A = this chain, B = another copy of it.
Amino acid sequence: MKIDPDNKADLSAQIAEAIREEIMAGRLIVDERLPSEAELADHFEVSRPTVREALKRLAAQSLIRTARGAFGGAFVNRLSYPEAYGQHITTSTLLLSMNAISFDVACEARYALERACTPLAAERRTPDMLATMRAEIHRQGQPGLTDESFCASDVTFHRALVDSADNPVLSYQLAGAVEAMQPLMNMITFTARSREAIVGFHTRIADALERHEADAAQTALSELEAYTLTLGRDVMAARARPRKPA
C-alpha cells in the first residue's frame, strides 16, 4: 500500500482509495489495525490533516472505525447489516429523488423484486411475520391515519413480506427498492377508497402466504402494482401540469 503517483487529484482521495483497495482485496482484514495517523502521514509523505481527511472518507463508508486512547486507532470495520442497510437506502433514495426516475420505472422494479421474494416467503413465513403483516393491515384500516403514517405502515408491511423470505441478502437488496419508493409514495393522497383497496390487496397477500400459496400472493402483488401505478400516475400527471386548478 504505497502507491501515490504524480496524480492531480486530492491526496486525501488518493490515500482513501489506496486503503480502500487494500480492504476490498482482503489484504487488510476485519478488525486489523491500520497504522496510526502519524505513521500513515509519514508513509504517504503528507500531513496528518490530509491523512485524517482520507480516514474520514473511509469512516463515512463504514470501511473503518476509529477508537481513541492508547491502543486505539483505525480498524477495519466488519460491515454490519444495519450499516449496509442504511447506506443502501440512502443511495437508493437519492438516486430516485435526484434523477427524475419515473414513478412507473421505480414501481415496476420494486414489485418485480418483491415478487421474487414471494415463493420463498410463502414457503418460510413464520407466525411472527404474519402477525406483523396483520398488525400493519389493521393499522392501515384506522380512520384517523395520516397519509404519511399510512405510507410508513405500507413500508413496514412490505418489509415484513420481504423478510419472510428469510434470506438476509435478499432483505438487504430489497431494502433499497422498498424504502426508496417512500418519498414518491408520500406524494400520493390516499383516499378512504384507495386505502380500502390497498388493505384488500394486503389481506390477500397475507392470506396467501399463510396458506403457503405463492402463486396467489404473486397475483395479488401484481394487481397491487397495477393499482399503485394508477394512483401514482394521477399524482405525476397533476405534477406535470403547472397550471394550478383554482
A84 contacts B93, CB within 8 Å? no
Tell whether A217 is near chain B: CB-to-CB under 8 Å.
no
**Chain A 104-127 per-residue mask, 1 if CB under 8 angstroms from chain B, else 0:** 011011101101110110000000
A17 to B: closest C-beta gap in Å:
10
B120 contacts A170, CB within 8 Å? no
Number of A residues contacting the other chain (C-beta, 8 Å)?
59
Tell whether A169 is near chain B: CB-to-CB under 8 Å.
yes
Of chain B, the residue at the smallest CB distance from A96 is B169
Given contacts A26-B97, A97-B26, A101-B169, contact A88 B91 (CB under 8 A): yes
Which residues of chain B come closer than 8 Å to A246, judged between CB atoms?
Answer: none
B113 contacts A173, CB within 8 Å? yes
A101 to B81, CA, bound (A): 11
Tell whether A35 is near chain B: CB-to-CB under 8 Å.
no
A101 to B172, CA, bound (A): 12
